[in-house]
Amino acid sequence: MLKILLKTIKWIALAAAALIVFVVAVTAFWYFSADMRQPDVRVDTADWPVTCHESWTESHGNMFRPSDSGLWEVWLHGAPLDRGMALGRMTEDLLYYQERVFVDQIRRIIPSDGYLRFLRYLLIGFNRHLGENVPEEFRVEIYGISLSCTHEFDAIGNPYERQLNYHAAHDIGHTMQEYMLVGCSSFATWGGRSADSTLLVGRNFDFWVGDDFARNKVVAFYAPERGHKFASVTWPGMTGVLSGMNERGLTVTINAAKGAPPTASAMPISLLAREILQYAATIDEAMAIARDRQTFVSESLLIGSAADGRAAVIEKSPEHTALYSPDGDHLVCTNHFQSADFATDKYNTENIATSDSPWRLRRIDELISAAGTISPQDAATILRDSLAPGGTPLPPGDPRRVNQSFAHHSVIFQPVHQLMWVSTGMGHEGDYVCYDLRKIFAAPDFSAELRTPSLTIPAQR
């Protein structure tokens, strides 16, 4: 009997050892086969010298300046590598600051160095196919930026890997909902709902990684060698689009939705939005690009189109892409899907039943109805609203508020007129300053303020 027991124990031990070897082998393959598709480009940063003028810096005709409004402004043109190298060289100090505060915030959430190292291996495995899902044009641009990044954080990954991963920060925020990293509100009016009958789009981008992270807001103006010129509101190093408008009057804003927990990465939403903004001029063209790309989280992309004279929402999950285009002359988009395609989706129905998203949607609908017709000034009032449906007060930071008091940025677009208002200060504290994209795209003058002072929407008193 003892002999049989010892033999059984021996076989169990051998099986356990074999299982451990198998798991280690699979894990090693999973880790070492990850390929972020770092571009094979040989460059010398010295070939992109930076010239400092009185109020702006320049590199190969690309320009960067601080505005009196507190925003940073950048003009980038040409080939992907030229754009990335110039942006990195001109904003090196800001790139370091942005990464420093981002890593510090992660450490506040996850203070254990051991767990952070463990998460690095998980992240590499999770993002093992990230590179192949990002168009080469964007990878080359990001690589150019990364050459000006610090090596202080190489424990997380080399500069290129880190910068590529940061472009998925919004997506990763989906999986950390308990930290309230992501929650946005947007709306559009046209026809009888707009004061001048043309399309108007407003949005709050409530992505919170601390006040320091939101301190340096960048208004970027792009004139790429391929596609449309466009403007985007972003942070240092981020070439993806969170809120933007192109020269054809197409706008893109992104709003997180709820879906199944991701098991592997695909194309980051910010880069999908970038591709749409750079290459689409109509809602149909935007939809075609969205259908063609695989993403790893669920997202609503509100598309405003001067050519179509209206707006629609592309609702995208890893498995399905739908278009929400209601009848009427306005729509509201928060953090849940509204199309019939997702009406029975279990994650979406749970989100509607349990989240703050329906509260904000109802409140914006209520404010639009009360205003009758919406001007840019009315849009700012809506985006600054802090009450619940019916006008009940809510405390600062409450996720049911349209103005949650910690938005990274807030933007208003008039696509037909090519006007874009960007909030200044922290959250919605300051003015909304106006940029006339027609003038800027025609001939940007970085020796002076780019904004149009006469169109400023004053801070709320």
pLDDT at 117 over 80: no
Banded pLDDT at 154 (limits 50, 70, 90): confident
| Structural domain that includes position 228 | 54-441
What's the pLDDT tens digit per position in 340-367? 999 999 999 999 999 999 999 999 999 9
Most confident of 115-124, 254-263, 328-337: 328-337
Q: Is residue 294 part of a domain?
A: yes
What confidence tens digit (pLDDT) does each residue in 81-107 have?
999 999 999 999 999 999 999 888 777
Taking alpha carbons only, the member of 173, 236, 164 closest to residue 207 is: 173
35 within a domain of the structure (yes/no)? no
> Angle of helix 357-371 relative to helix 346-354, nearest 10 degrees?
70
CATH of the domain at 337: 3.60.60.10
On the CB side of 85, CA atoms within 13 Å amount to 18
Q: Is residue 170 part of a domain?
A: yes
Q: Say if residues 137 and 234 touch (Cβ distance below 8 Å).
A: no
What is the chain's alpha carbon radius of gyration, rounded to the nearest angstrom? Answer: 23
The model's pTM is 0.90
pLDDT at res. 264: 72
Question: Is 251 within a domain?
Answer: yes
Which run of H or of E encompasses 119? helix 113-126
On the question of pLDDT at 210 being above 90, the answer is: no
Distance in angstroms (rounded) separating the CA atoms of residues 457 and 333: 23
Nearest-CA neighbor of 183 among 209, 163, 165, 162? 209
The number of domains in the chain is: 1
Flag whether 446 is in a domain.
no
In what order do the strands lie in the sheet containing 432-436? 330-333, 185-189, 200-205, 409-414, 419-423, 432-436
